Amino acid sequence: MAILPAEMSKERFDWLSKIAGEVIATPGCESNVKEIFDKTWELRRTRDDVVIFNQFEEMGNCIWHYQVTGNAIAEAFESIKGEGDRLAGACFTSGSAGTMSAGDLLKEKYPHLKLAVGEALQCPTLLENGFGGHRIEGIGDKHVPWIHNVKNTDMVIDIDDDDSQNLLRLFNSEEGKKYLVEKAGVPAETVEQLSLMGISGIANMLCCIKMAKYYELTEHDIVATVCTDSAIMYESRIKELDEQQGAYSELAAAYDFAKHLQGVRTDAMLELSYQDRKRVHNLKYYTWVEQQGKTYEEINQQWYDEHYWTDMHEQAADLDKLINAFNEKTGVLAEL
Ligand SMILES: Cc1ncc(COP(=O)(O)O)c(C=O)c1O
């Protein structure tokens, strides 16, 4: 059973309905996650055959990204780095903050690395305790996820959803791709790969650009991120933009390139001081302790107990054993 907000893309609903027995649409858009939580509490109360996996609070989510995504990024960097290159930063927009945990591993391996969390400017929860609806599907839900290791986060970067939305069209329409190759001088093989970024992937890339500008990084500094899904999930969104703004043209492509990519600046971002981090961490109280049943002791442990996160990450080996045992029991992996 999968639960997600009704206003998310049609492609996402189609995809989920293929893998979930039942898909429940809760009211609202991407940032209406409280409504999903309410639904899960209703299911807990009314059915005894459900187990809730809430990505925002399951530590398995962050352990997985620490172990798998973190090491994958480190391996990728080691395989491409040239003489004098360093992994200077990593940026992840936060939905559940699972991918953010890759940064915890990277900071252990590359202690100088700066770790940034991204969100939508239209829902600036981390930047200014703000709220609002936005169009970067998969991130930004008007709360701080329970599994976000805020104390280890160096920077908050907000991305205007108008930038990611319009770049989606630039990167995925014939006119846009032609402009990028012929007028902007982007190699054709790079342009062909741009559809690997969905809307939040584009927002991730924009976070990296903002971080690079903020810290005045050079050609020897590499900033890592992830493509959380691809443009295939958002063809209907591109159609919507065509309907609202008219068919895409070379002029529109030039405008989008200049405004939404080259025009990206170091606004709406904050390098976090100790007190800033604490302010973000403290916001967890209202969602998790007041509403969702977490304890006062544990929220304090997350901040004050220096072993809380490292002990969590060390569970990976035991979890692997359980996963292997489960796979053996079901026999599905062997069949594949
Ligand atoms: C499309 C998309 N982008 C970004 C994210 C955010 O990743 P995370 O939940 O690891 O913060 C998600 C995950 O939920 C997603 O589905």
Q: How confident is the model at residue 83 (pLDDT cuts 50, 70, 90)?
A: very high
Locate tokens 């050079």: which residue?
218
- CA-136 nearest atom, ligand 1: 3
Element (H, E) at 116: strand 114-120
Q: 198: closest CA among 242, 108, 147, 136? A: 136
pLDDT in tens, 258-270: 999 999 999 999 9
Quick check: 86 and 219 in contact, CB under 8 A? no
Q: Is residue 288 predicted with pLDDT exceeding 90? A: yes
The model's pTM: 0.95
Strands 221-224 and 86-93 come out as parallel
Provide the pLDDT for residue 31: 86
Residue nearest to atom 4 of ligand 1 (CA): 138
Q: Is the Cβ atom of 70 under 6 angstroms away from ligand 1?
A: no
Q: What is the mean pLDDT of residues 49-71?
A: 95
Can you give the pLDDT at residue 202? 98
Confidence at residue 214, expressed as pLDDT on a 0 to 100 scale: 98
pLDDT of 174 higher than 90: yes
Condensed to tens digits (0 to 9), the pLDDT of residues 303-327 reads: 999 999 999 999 999 999 999 999 9
In DSSP terms, 222 is beta-bridged to 87
Please check the confidence at residue 40 and state whether its pLDDT lies above 90.
yes
Residue 223 has pLDDT above 90, yes or no: yes
Q: How many A from CA of 256 to the centre of ligand 1?
A: 25
Does the pLDDT value for residue 335 go beyond 90? no
Give SS3 for 267.
Answer: coil
Of 61, 64, 65, 96, the residue with max ligand 1 atoms within 8 A of its CB, to mutate for a pocket test, comes to 96
What is the 94 CA–ligand 1 centroid distance (Å)?
A: 7
Smallest CA separation from ligand 1 atom 5, residue = 138
The partner residues of 23 in beta bridges, in order of sequence, read 2
Query: Does the C-beta of 198 come closer than 6 Å to ligand 1?
Result: yes
Most informative mutation of 204, 228, 229, 230 for ligand 1 (most atoms within 8 A of CB): 228
Question: Which run of H or of E encompasses 224?
Answer: strand 221-224
Tell me if 139 CB under 6 Å of ligand 1: yes
Residue 96 in contact with ligand 1 by CB distance below 6 A = yes
DSSP 3-58: EEETTS-HHHHHHHHHH-S-EEEESSSTT--HHHHHHHHHHHHH-SS-----TTT-
Residue 185 Cα to ligand 1 middle (Å): 31
Indicate whether 67 pLDDT > 90: yes
Q: What value does the mean pLDDT of the chain take? A: 96
Give the other-Cβ count within 10 Å of 312's Cβ: 19
Among residues of the chain, what percentage have pLDDT more than 70?
A: 100
Q: Is 224 in the pocket of ligand 1 (CB under 6 A)?
A: no
336 has pLDDT over 90: no
pLDDT of residue 285: 98
Q: Is the CB of 101 under 6 A from ligand 1?
A: no
Residue closest by Cα to atom 16 of ligand 1: 138
Residue range 186-207: mean pLDDT, rounded: 98
* Cα 201 to middle of ligand 1, angstroms: 9
74 lines ligand 1 (CB under 6 A): no
Distance 99 CA to ligand 1 centre (A): 7
Q: Output the CA 139–ligand 1 centroid distance in Å.
A: 6
Summarize pLDDT for 238-252 with one digit per residue, the tens.
999 999 999 999 999
Per CATH, domain 59-271 is 3.40.50.1100: yes
The tens digit of pLDDT for each residue in 129-169 reads 999 999 999 999 899 999 999 999 999 999 999 999 999 99
What does the domain layout of the chain look like in residue ranges? 2-46, 59-271
Residue 95 CB–ligand 1 contact under 6 Å: yes
